[in-house]
């Protein structure tokens, strides 16, 4: 390292990599249901798709995590997205193909994809 | 994307209870579950809660798993990391709520803590310079090199009110100023990492958990006083600390943050390690300098002080590990921020190693001015087994015992001195009703007698005589005049010994004489040890009413001091008895008592 600018650049790059290590200071949390019912319905590729999407878009303030069975096994794979104000949106029958749209529309721009939510599908 | 970080404590405490194996099993179990790419395992420094080690923390949830065994790893991987279900049975009980986990900051152990010196311990991978940089590492060095003149650095440190954390409490800024004002361009920066107090492990934990912050602080000090070389004197008994320091120095050199022309500013600074062989006296600054020079670790008379004539006869500053650990934060956050914590004359925080009769053995960092009661009862979780608190020992062999009536004293340098102890480097040993205070004083004196270098007579001969008097007291052969003789010797040695080791060696005796004189007198007058510790004053007896004649005690006695026929009361011959207590432990009827 020859200059302070290089040091600062390295710090900013590394900061993203350790971002996951803070307690509860995230803009958004994406929870993929990964109980037996979820895994059987194909939650694993959904989780991977979310991770890939978040990484390509460099959304370091978003956490991707898993959760257990929510009790609506017929709707699996289920994904819950918590906004910073605690609002929860529940997406059902999620497939890897639906993930880019959810990330672009909801996670980046803050507009839930209504047609994928449980509200639209339970009727 | 790495979606989860698994932090495994790699401090000495958790390491010795198998955290290495846990780390390895995480790597292999994650690979087996196909999670190797998305979950990262990091070996960190100490989390502080050593009593609950080995500790594993999983982010982003911040789940704090305690007393993890290698065989638990598979369950954490399959349940938590794969399916998102917390393994509740392993979570630290204070963090478990109905349907969520509570932040560690809300537990009794962490709530009142304020981590400044330990800020990166248990957070970063100490063997990876990039992780240190992620948490603003080396930014303080960059700041002083580009924005501050050396005298500004000294002014900032002085204004922060930082005082030496090795125990002396000398203002750090003043020490730097003395060295900076000395003529000449060959000066040295030393780090005293020869932590020798029994029961103290603050410096070790900083070195193990955040070695780069010491390197950065030493470079800042070098810039401030005009030195281009530093030495870290660390004891060889700290193998993990030594290993991580070596890695850190190599990485910093590689990154151009140590060596010549640092960050293109023309400032040169490099650091070498010197390993100490473990002599307690080498923690005394002048003895430490002799040892670095390759001479025998004897203290030198002061003055001249090291700031004038130190290493190789050149102006030198010597600061303790924890003192340095505060420096980068003071530079980045400002002197005012640091001075806003603590009491009027003691600013900032202090790290303590809690040990002895306490539930949460471990490492805590509290703002100055926290009371002993808060540290022991709230953070430390109180005394185990419902026993009664008797005293707390601070400052190791140079410190004293503080009795219960002073538990509400706010901890700072001056308050502890006023009640007959010292801040010391931060060892804090809690004692309950089962501890004999004369025995405690004897324990510390035995340590200083062993560790006295022998250069000056008051220390070499004087504290040995003191130990002999204590021996007489604990074996019931002393008279009341011996207590006076002991006290006089204490004051004489305090005034006449050459270095800190001798001058402070009488402190454990003086403070126990001051607060627990009745225990000394019970040993001398009644020939009795009130806590039942001093073996020579104990006698074991068997109650013929309760004894069933099962012969178990006689069979367990290693010296055949117990006689009696089967199904008849047994008798203990106290002339043969070696007071080992085996009979009392083995008796199923509570027939044997000691007094």
B129/B105: higher pLDDT: B129
Asked whether the beta carbons of residue B139 and residue A26 sit closer than 8 angstroms, the reply is: no
| Contact present, B474 and B456 (Cβ < 8 Å) | no
Chain A, 59 to 88: residues with Cβ < 8 Å from chain B are: 63-68
Chain B, 94 to 123: residues with Cβ < 8 Å from chain A are: 103-105, 123
B122: region left, alpha or beta (phi > 0 left; psi from -120 to 50 alpha)? left
Asked whether the beta carbons of residue A17 and residue B2 sit closer than 8 angstroms, the reply is: yes
How far is it, in rounded angstroms, from Cα A113 to Cα A81?
Answer: 11
- Chain B CB within 8 Å of residue A120 CB: no
**Chain A partners within 8 Å of B104 (Cβ):** 23
**Chain A partners within 8 Å of B134 (Cβ):** 11, 14-15, 17-18
| Contact present, B365 and B350 (Cβ < 8 Å) | yes
Instruction: Give the distance between the most distant pair of CA atoms in chain A.
Output: 62
**Chain B partners within 8 Å of A39 (Cβ):** 83
Q: Across residues B392-411, what is the average pLDDT?
A: 93
| Contact present, B427 and B392 (Cβ < 8 Å) | no
- The candidate with the shortest Cα–Cα distance to B23, out of B34, B39, B8, B37, is B8
DSSP string for residues in A8-60: HHHHHHHHHHTGGGSSS--SEEEEEE-SHHHHHHTHHHHHHHHHHHHHHTT-T
Asked whether the beta carbons of residue A63 and residue B3 sit closer than 8 angstroms, the reply is: yes
DSSP string for residues in B458-480: IIIIIHHHHHHHHHHHHTT---H
Q: Which helix (H) or strand (E) holds B352?
A: strand B349-356
Calculate the alpha carbon distances from B492 to A39, B332, B471, B512 in Å. 77, 46, 20, 17
**Does pLDDT of B154 surpass 90?**
yes
Q: State residue A18 phi and psi, 5-degree precision.
A: -105, 5
pLDDT of residue A69: 80
Q: Residue B342 is encoded by which pair of tokens?
A: 């603590």
Asked whether the beta carbons of residue B257 and residue A31 sit closer than 8 angstroms, the reply is: no
Work out the pLDDT band at A23, boundaries 50, 70, 90: low
**Chain B partners within 8 Å of A9 (Cβ):** none
| Contact present, B35 and A97 (Cβ < 8 Å) | no
Residue from A11, A45, A77 whose CB has the most chain B CBs within 10 Å, to mutate: A11
Work out the pLDDT band at B133, boundaries 50, 70, 90: very high
Work out the pLDDT band at A39, boundaries 50, 70, 90: confident
How far is it, in rounded angstroms, from Cα B65 to Cα B47?
Answer: 12
Q: Going by DSSP bridges, is the β-strand pair A28-33/A79-83 parallel, antiparallel, or unpaired?
A: antiparallel
CB atoms within 10 A of CB B343: 18
**Ordered structural domains, chain A, with CATH:** 25-121 (3.40.30.10)
Give the model confidence (pLDDT) of A59-117 as tens digits.
878 888 888 888 888 888 999 999 878 888 999 999 999 999 999 999 998 888 988 98
- The candidate with the shortest Cα–Cα distance to B425, out of B278, B505, B319, is B319
Tell me the nearest-neighbour CA distance from B262 into chain A, angstroms: 7
Give the model confidence (pLDDT) of B193-239 as tens digits.
999 888 899 999 999 999 999 999 999 999 999 999 999 999 999 99
Give the model confidence (pLDDT) of B541-554 as tens digits.
899 999 999 999 99
**Chain B partners within 8 Å of A21 (Cβ):** 5, 7, 59-60, 123
**Ordered structural domains, chain B, with CATH:** 4-110 (3.40.30.10), 129-338 (3.40.50.11540), 349-432 (3.10.20.600), 437-524 (1.20.1440.230), 539-594 (3.30.70.20)
Calculate the alpha carbon distances from B258 to B140, B214, B266, B271, B476 in Å. 14, 12, 12, 8, 60
- CA geometry: angle B77, B78, B82, nearest 5 deg: 85
**Which residues lie closer than 8 Å to B400 by C-beta, 6 or more apart?**
B393, B394, B419, B420, B421, B422, B507, B508, B510, B511, B512, B514
How far is it, in rounded angstroms, from Cα B65 to Cα B257?
Answer: 36
Query: Which of B4, B62, B131 has the CB atom closest to A14's CB atom?
Result: B131
| Contact present, B527 and B503 (Cβ < 8 Å) | no
Give the model confidence (pLDDT) of B280-300 as tens digits.
999 999 999 999 999 999 999
Share of chain B above pLDDT 70, in %: 100
Work out the pLDDT band at A24, boundaries 50, 70, 90: low
**Beta-ladder partners of B191:** B232, B319
Tell me the nearest-neighbour CA distance from B210 into chain A, angstroms: 16
Q: Across residues A8-18, what is the average pLDDT?
A: 88
Asked whether the beta carbons of residue B103 and residue A24 sit closer than 8 angstroms, the reply is: yes
Chain B, 388 to 417: residues with Cβ < 8 Å from chain A are: none
Chain A, 18 to 37: residues with Cβ < 8 Å from chain B are: 18, 20-24, 26, 29, 31-36
How many Cα atoms are found within 13 Å in the side-chain-facing hemisphere of B565?
1
**Chain A partners within 8 Å of B146 (Cβ):** 4
Query: Which of B1, B83, B139 has the CB atom closest to A35's CB atom?
Result: B83
Chain B, 249 to 268: residues with Cβ < 8 Å from chain A are: 255-257, 263-264
How far is it, in rounded angstroms, from Cα A18 to Cα A13?
Answer: 9
Work out the pLDDT band at B139, boundaries 50, 70, 90: very high
DSSP string for residues in B62-82: TEEE-S--GGGHHHIIIIIII
Tell me the nearest-neighbour CA distance from B492 into chain A, angstroms: 55
Q: Across residues B368-391, what is the average pLDDT?
A: 94
How far is it, in rounded angstroms, from Cα B520 to Cα B511?
Answer: 12
Asked whether the beta carbons of residue B134 and residue A18 sit closer than 8 angstroms, the reply is: yes
- pTM of the full structure: 0.89
ipTM over 0.90: no
How far is it, in rounded angstroms, from Cα B593 to Cα B573?
Answer: 14
Q: Residue B407 is encoded by which pair of tokens?
A: 């538990």
| Contact present, A120 and A114 (Cβ < 8 Å) | yes
Asked whether the beta carbons of residue B3 and residue A20 sit closer than 8 angstroms, the reply is: yes
Q: Residue B319 is encoded by which pair of tokens?
A: 């600061």
| Contact present, B593 and B543 (Cβ < 8 Å) | yes
């Amino acid at each position: 390292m020859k200059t302070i600018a290089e040091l600062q650049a390295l710090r900013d790059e590394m900061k993203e990599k350790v971002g996951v290590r803070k307690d509860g200071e995230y803009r958004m949390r994406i929870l993929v249901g990964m109980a037996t019912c979820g895994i059987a319905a194909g939650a694993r590729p959904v989780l991977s798709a979310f991770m890939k999407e978040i990484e390509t878009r460099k959304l370091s303030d978003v956490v991707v995590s898993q959760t257990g069975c929510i009790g609506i096994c017929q709707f699996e794979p289920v994904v819950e997205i918590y906004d910073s104000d605690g609002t929860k949106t529940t997406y059902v029958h999620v497939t890897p193909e639906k993930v880019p749209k959810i990330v672009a529309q909801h996670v980046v721009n803050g507009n839930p994809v209504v047609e994928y939510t449980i509200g639209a599908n339970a009727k | 994307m790495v979606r989860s970080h698994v932090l495994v404590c790699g401090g000495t405490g958790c390491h010795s209870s198998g955290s290495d194996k846990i780390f390895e099993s995480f790597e292999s179990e994650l690979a087996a579950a196909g999670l190797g790419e998305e979950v990262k395992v990091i070996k960190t420094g100490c989390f502080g809660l050593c009593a609950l080690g080995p500790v594993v923390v999983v982010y982003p949830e911040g789940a704090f798993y305690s007393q993890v065994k290698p065989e638990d790893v598979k369950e954490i991987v399959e349940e938590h990391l794969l399916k998102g279900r917390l393994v509740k049975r392993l979570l630290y009980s204070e963090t478990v709520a109905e349907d969520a986990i509570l932040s560690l900051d809300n537990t009794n152990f962490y709530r009142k803590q304020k981590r400044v010196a330990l800020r990166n311990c248990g957070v970063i991978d100490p063997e990876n310079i990039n992780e240190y940089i992620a948490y603003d590492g080396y930014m303080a060095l960059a700041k002083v090199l580009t924005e501050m003149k050396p005298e500004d650095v000294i002014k900032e440190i002085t204004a922060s009110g930082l005082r030496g954390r090795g125990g002396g409490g000398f203002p750090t800024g003043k020490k730097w100023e003395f060295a900076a004002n000395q003529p000449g361009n060959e000066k040295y920066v030393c780090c005293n990492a020869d932590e020798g107090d029994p029961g103290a492990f603050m410096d070790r934990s900083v070195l193990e958990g955040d070695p780069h912050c010491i390197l950065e602080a030493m470079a800042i000090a070098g810039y401030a006083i005009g030195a281009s070389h530093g030495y870290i004197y660390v004891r060889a008994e700290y193998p993990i600390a030594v290993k991580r320091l070596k890695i850190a120095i190599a990485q910093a050199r590689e990154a151009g943050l140590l060596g010549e022309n640092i960050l293109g500013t023309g400032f040169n600074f490099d650091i070498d390690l010197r390993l100490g062989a473990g002599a307690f006296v080498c923690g005394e600054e002048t003895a430490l300098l002799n040892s670095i020079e390759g001479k025998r670790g004897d203290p030198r008379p002061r003055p001249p002080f090291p700031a004038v004539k130190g290493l190789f006869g050149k102006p030198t500053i010597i600061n303790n590990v924890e003192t340095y650990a505060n420096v980068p934060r003071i530079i980045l956050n400002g002197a005012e921020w640091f001075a806003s914590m603590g009491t009027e004359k003691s600013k900032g925080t202090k790290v303590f190693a809690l040990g002895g009769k306490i539930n949460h053995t471990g490492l805590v960092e509290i703002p100055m001015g926290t009371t002993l009661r808060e540290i022991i009862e709230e953070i430390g979780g109180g005394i185990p087994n419902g026993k009664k608190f008797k005293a707390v020992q601070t400052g190791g062999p140079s410190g004293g015992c503080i009795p219960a009536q002073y538990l509400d004293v706010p901890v700072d340098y001056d308050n502890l001195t006023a009640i007959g102890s010292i801040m010391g480097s931060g060892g804090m040993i809690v004692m309950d009703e089962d501890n004999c205070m004369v025995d405690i004083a004897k324990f510390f004196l035995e340590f200083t007698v062993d560790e006295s270098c022998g250069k000056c007579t008051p220390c070499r001969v004087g504290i040995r005589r003191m130990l002999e008097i204590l021996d007489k007291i604990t074996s019931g052969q002393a008279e009341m005049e011996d207590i006076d003789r002991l006290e006089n010797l204490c004051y004489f040695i305090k005034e006449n010994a050459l270095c800190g080791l001798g001058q402070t060696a009488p402190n454990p005796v003086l403070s126990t004489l001051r607060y627990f004189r009745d225990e000394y007198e019970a040993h001398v007058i009644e020939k009795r040890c009130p806590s039942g510790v001093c073996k020579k004053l104990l006698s074991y007896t068997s109650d013929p009413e309760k004894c069933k004649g099962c012969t178990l005690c006689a069979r367990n006695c290693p010296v055949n001091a117990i006689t009696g026929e089967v199904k008849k009361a047994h008798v203990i011959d106290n002339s043969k008895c070696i007071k080992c207590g085996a009979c009392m432990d083995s008796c199923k009827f509570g027939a044997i008592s000691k007094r």
